[in-house]
Structures are given as C-alpha cells and as structure tokens.
Amino acid sequence: MKVLQLCKKFPYPPIDGETIAITNLSKALNHWGCDVTLLALNTTKHYFDLDLLPGHYNHYKEIFTVDIDNRLNLFHAIQYHRQGASYQLGRFKSVLFENKLKEILQKSSFDVVIVESVHMGHYLQTIRKYSRAQIVLKCHNVEHELWSRIAENTSFSLKRWYLRNEARLMAQFEMQALKHVDRVIFLSKRDRDVFVAAGFDNDYTINPSSLDLSYYNTPKTSKNFTIGFIGSLDWIPNVEGLKWFLDNVWPQVYKALPYAEFHVAGRNPGNDFYSRPARNIFIHGEVRSAKDFMSDHQILVVPLLSGSGIRIKILEGLALERTVITTPLGVEGIDAMHGEHLLIAKNSQEFIKNIQYCAMDDELMTKLGTNGRLFIQSRYDVLKQTRKLLKYIHPTYPKISRPGVSKQNQSLS
C-alpha cells in the first residue's frame, strides 16, 4: 500500500505528542509493508535542517518539505478576522506547499493520503483534484475546544474575546473538513462524541496515539523522592498548568516534604520560571532525552487546565512505570482508572494529598507503575493499533511484516 502523509510540521525530532504520534504511526506503517512518503511544512518555529536527519530515520520512502514562515503576525490576524476565517488555521496555508503537493500527486499514485490534523484541511480540494486516493483525516485534537478552553482561562477580556472567536471559526472549519474526507481517525471516544454532538456523521474509527513499547522496556528505579514535569514551555496549556502548579501546589508540598525536589524540562522556558525562588525547583530547559528525564523521577505531574486530545506524556510515563498525577482534563480520552493506573487530582489540595500519599507509600507507587505498564501494553501498542487501522482503511490488505523481521519480537527502532 502506498501512503502519503501530510504534516503541519516536520516530525523530527519526536519530542512532543504530535511528532511522536506521527513518527510511531509512519514507522509502524512501514513495518507492516507500506511505502510511506512524507510531505511536511517546515515551519519557522519548528524548523529542522534535513541535513541533520540521522541515518536510522529511514522508514520513509521519500521525504519532501516546504519552508513556511508562519510566525504570529498581528496584521495577518486582523485580515483573517475581517474575512471571517481562523487565523490559527490559516497560518498553515501555503501556495508553495500546495504546488509541491500537486507535483507529488501528479508524479506518483497513492492508495491513501493521511492528513495529519485539521490544519492541513486547506489542501483537501487539491488532493481530490489530483489523486484518486482515499483521504483519511487524523484529528489529533478537538482544535476548537482546545482554544475555547484557553479562552476561558484568560483574564484579559479582549484576548478572551479574540480566542473565543477563533474557537468559533475553528469549529466551522473542522466540521467542513470532516465532511470532505473519506474516513476520519479520532484518538478517543470522547473526541468522537464532541464532533457527533455537533452533527458529524461521516465514516470514522477510533485509533489512539500509541507507543513503540520496545523503546520503553528498561525503566530505571529512582532513589530520591523527585517529581518531574516535561512539556513544551512555549505551548499555552503547558505554561498555564505549570504556573498553576508552582503557585498553588508546590509551596505546600515543599513545606510538608522539604526533601522533595521538583524538576522541570521543556524547550523555551520563559524568564518567569527561572526568576522564581528556588525551593528545590530545578529548571532544565530542553533535555536530550525525554525518556531518560521521565525515568529519573518517581512521580510525573501533568497539571493540565486547558487543551484537548490525548496527552502522550501520560502514556509514556505509564509505559515507564512512573507514578503519574494529573487532572481530570489531563486524563480525558484515556480510560485509565484513578488509584489503579494513575492518580487524578481535581484541585490543588488533591494534588498535594496525592503527592504526600506517594511519599509515604512506596507500595502504592509500585502498584501504579506495574498496572500502568500493563495498561499501556494492552491498549497503546503501536504495532497492534496500526494493524487495526490498516484493516479499517483497507480490509483486504495482507497481514505481512517486513522481510527478515521476526513476528515474535517486532521493534520499530
């Protein structure tokens, strides 16, 4: 099967939920015998020099990128507002990308085009015009809901009004995109339900972002009682949640457990994080290995107050047998159970109590770690999930593995 994958940013290095999900899916498709071609926008914010791409990143048949400067621009935002269109989605519209897409579709024949996120919905008509391939839209988030939640947590009234308007325009764009594809991939039943309630009635499947479990096979044992947070610190929901945790949770944890340490990792941390009183807070910035960072800490916190979609860092933490503490919003779309696989805190006091429980009960953390790993193995194995996806897209597609790959211990590395 020949697959074309369209992405709004280059998926290497795989350091956030979207790039990890895209990389794992494309590797698994290749593993099951598909020829996968990548066409990605190479954005200013996430620009990657392809000359630095490591040799082991070789699962794509071909890789194409188109540079785009889509930095935030007030003048462009006003223009989009006047036109009644979403600026946040419009930032990913490129004539050069559209021309490159035409060129690829005219030169090659594909069975499936996987559109990674609604941001690439601008190119659906081009795909229809120049290809007979199935168009499959993968919804990484409920985008309008994400921005609506950010708006509700914004105190500045003008900004809140703007974000609410963006959310409304995004919802319109999302619903139109969902109607103009052949199939839709939702990451969770919960995401599906949001769109169904809004009138969605197209063909769909639920196929969550999943992990290459061989990569998480050797979790380390942390000796000190340390708590970790990892996430891009230039993404509003992460910044919002981390500041809330530092203001409302950590002072009380530090007071009760003065030996505890809180370690923060993530690219582009603002000066506000560095200027805070120490109180056993360590800001690492971008780390070389997210897996090693997570493995170094007994507890991982995901204090999410806004956002949408599945938080892949929670899945990674569970796969590494870490104790994960998050909010109800953080676990949204993940069928993990409080007290069985992870801990859920509805407010700052519950966060504090959960951390204190863990400090006093090693057996609780061991139980959560073991159960969390088993939970991921049963539901979020990327090889199994991708095989299900292939059956959905192409029911008669042969059940094959790559030549020379043992079916007993198949790895994507």
Using one digit for the tens of pLDDT, what is the confidence trace for 158-180? 999 999 999 999 999 999 999 99
Picking from 370, 381, 390, 389, the residue whose alpha carbon sits closest to that of residue 409 is 381
Over residues 23-36, mean pLDDT: 97
Residue 342 has pLDDT above 60, yes or no: yes
Pair 227, 299: CB distance under 8 Å = yes
Residue 412 has pLDDT above 90, yes or no: no
Using one digit for the tens of pLDDT, what is the confidence trace for 202-257? 999 999 999 999 999 866 666 679 999 999 998 889 999 999 999 999 999 999 99
Angle subtended by helix axes 189-197 and 157-179, to nearest 10: 90
Residue 32 has pLDDT above 90, yes or no: yes
Residue 297 has a pLDDT of: 95
Residue 384 has pLDDT above 70, yes or no: yes
Q: Please state whether the peptide bond connecting residue 303 to the residue before it is cis, i.e. omega within 30 degrees of 0.
A: no
Over residues 79-83, mean pLDDT: 93
Cα dihedral 72, 304, 154, 163 in deg (nearest 10): 50
By the 10 Å C-beta count (0-12 exposed, 13-18 middle, 19+ buried), 173 is classed as buried
Q: What are the start and end residues of each CATH 3.40.50.2000 domain in the chain?
A: 2-210+381-393, 214-379
3-state secondary structure of 217: coil
Q: What is the mean pLDDT of the chain?
A: 92
Within 288-342, where are the H helices?
A: 290-295, 312-319
State how far the Cα of 223 lies from the Cα of 204, in Å rounded to an integer: 45
Over residues 97-117, mean pLDDT: 98
Instruction: Quote the percentage of the chain above a pLDDT of 90.
Output: 83
Residue 405 has pLDDT above 80, yes or no: no
The owner of tokens 């462009």 is 76
Rg (CA), the chain: 21
CATH superfamily of domain region 214-379: Glycogen Phosphorylase B; (3.40.50.2000)
CATH superfamily of domain region 2-210+381-393: Glycogen Phosphorylase B; (3.40.50.2000)
Band the pLDDT of 375: cuts 50, 70, 90.
very high
Residue 132 has pLDDT above 50, yes or no: yes
Residue 155 has a pLDDT of: 85
Residue 274 has pLDDT above 90, yes or no: no
Q: What is the 3-state secondary structure (H, E, C) of 63-103?
A: EEEEEECCCCCHHHHHHHHHHCCCHHHHCCCCHHHHHHHHH
Residue 219 has a pLDDT of: 64
Residue 404 has a pLDDT of: 34
Residue 281: in which H helix or E strand, if any? strand 281-285
